[in-house]
Structure 1
Amino acid sequence: MASEKRCFYYSGPSYLTAVDWTNLQHRRIVAASLVQGTYCMQYDRRHNLQGNLAVAPPWWVSFNFQPVQVLVDEHDQSIFGAVFEFTPSYGNYLHQNPPRYVVAFRGTSFKKYTWKQDLKLDFQFIRNRLHQSTRVQLAMQAVQNMVSIAGAANIWLAGHSLGSAIALVAGKNMVKMGCFIETYLFNPPFTSVPIERVKNEKLKHGIRFTTSVIKAGVAVALNSQHQRSQKDHSFNVLSGWIPYLFVNPSDPICAEYIGYFEHREKMVEVGVGNIARLATQNSLGNLILGATGKDSEPPHLIPSAYLTINVSPTQDLKQAHGIQQWWKQNINCQFKLHQYR
């Protein structure tokens, strides 16, 4: 029997019986539910659950979606994502501009048949090599196909944890092709020491400032003016794309996004914007790789984002990192737009 957390009618947002597509919270709930649907697809496949026994369908049928493509990793044959098509049952939905397609990706699953490949991809993300994986290549093909069919304005990307990293890489690549896709990233991984977890504000600010100065200095020392100008141009191109980031300060995997954006703004306010500019588009890892001739772009660094922080109390890391929090009815969230200028 499926666990209660996979049952839509037990743990899912069954209270949302009518979606207002102009409401960000409703869009968040739908996007998170479709991502959960990809987790449950893999669960159904592994346990050979079909028909009335399958737990996945309510996660998309409840919001008038149907899967039109399932994305399967060729290495472990696991389902890691899906393309969902909106199938309205009421004419008024059409006047609220819902997405025509949503491409959703699950995160790491520590199950018998998936954990090895998922962890391998987690390490590829840390090493700035996720874009080389066949999983990302399949994801990019699916996204490009949907853009060619419906146009970028009619598509959403969504993912959780490792899945949000895949969506992030795909979204950034599409921006470079001139396509800006609405994107929902739940608990996206940030490959850095989680300084946000430091409780002393002065110490935290000091660590961030010192790290920024070091990164800026290394960037100037290792990169020519031409290389820095190219990076500036690339970052400026991305700045017009504003994905929705959903993070929990108690989750060390994604919490650093909070400090990443807030510290950059503080540095601009105190007059060290040039240091902030160099620090915000570089990681020490990619600078070191660049020095060895292995150029790489940090997949987690983005210029702009609409940041949603869940400040509701959480019991443990599992809850703080879980996708389930993002469809809860009464979570306490803080919202802020961070736009790179």
Structure 2
Amino acid sequence: MYLKPCPAISSVTTTPRLNRQNKLALGAAPLGNLYSPVSESDAQATILAAINAGLQFIDTAPFYGFGISEKRIGNALQLEGSLDIPIATKVGRILQPTADRLPQSRDSFFSNAPYHAKFDYSFNGIMQSFETSCERLKRSYIDLVLVHDLDEVTHPNAFSQHWDYWQQGGFQALQELKSAGKIGATGLGTKDVGSALKIIQDTAPDYLLIAGRYTLLDTTAEKNLFPVCEARGIKIISAAPFNSGILANERGKRSDFYEYTLAPPAILEKVKQLENLCKEWNIPLPAAALQFPMQHPLVETVVAGFRSELELTDGVRLSNLEIPDAFWQSLRALHRRWN
């Protein structure tokens, strides 16, 4: 059995703590050197700023920097002697040691960590992923564990195989970890609405983290997915409100990354229309991007990535900026024209 104690600092809490007042949570993919390197000092400062700002939780994964993100979170919390923020991490990939010569950038992460990531949704794979995450995070209890990218977008040719592994043992592994008091809640993390509908109806998790599908640019989760979650009592976490960066910056300093690649012309045109609308109302585009999913009554938390203390504190400020109801009405009208 894989239910051995992790050699890590144990959190005293043994129930989920994901219902703080602040709707914003820190997405820690940037702390795994997403797109470009982040220094150790900037990573630590960002994590401490998240704690001080009272953010809901820190969301990470083994895949983020091939272990770098989780290690930085564990080191920062241990250094400060503080475990007073919930942690969410993911399972579904295991990191396998390798002696191969690795490229400077892999899967959008700048990482020299000597690992390859391998998908594994089996019972043993889930248990191994959880245990090694515990070691990197320096704790033996994780508030929320999400099964990562179990969808047809990520696995266009192998979804049925991974789904079989999940049904035959992966789901059971998460349930055993929860029953043993090692995790507080289970969830699914995906950007694929269709696969999410299948999974939450067959094996209902406590939480659904849907990435990039309820944003200023894409509201496809709202019509079909959100009502099913409400009916089944599944709490919704909306992630990637900046759609991988294109909505994150002020006018004139925009990133052209959308869905982790360069944005196509149709998306650039939509962003231009959003910028014009925000300019009309004198509202920063990233403030609208952060607050849009927060407006939905079913969304409990919005996970956004920040790579420095300055970015995080500015994000908190923008998430609390007053935006009039009339702006949201104008935005809905724009969405209707797109659809």
- Asked whether the two chains share a fold, i.e. TM above 0.5, the reply is no
Greater RCO (Cα-Cα under 8 Å, separation 6 or more): 2
Higher helix content, 1 or 2: 1
Range of TM-score over shorter length:
0.3 to 0.5
- TM-score normalized with structure 1 length: 0.38
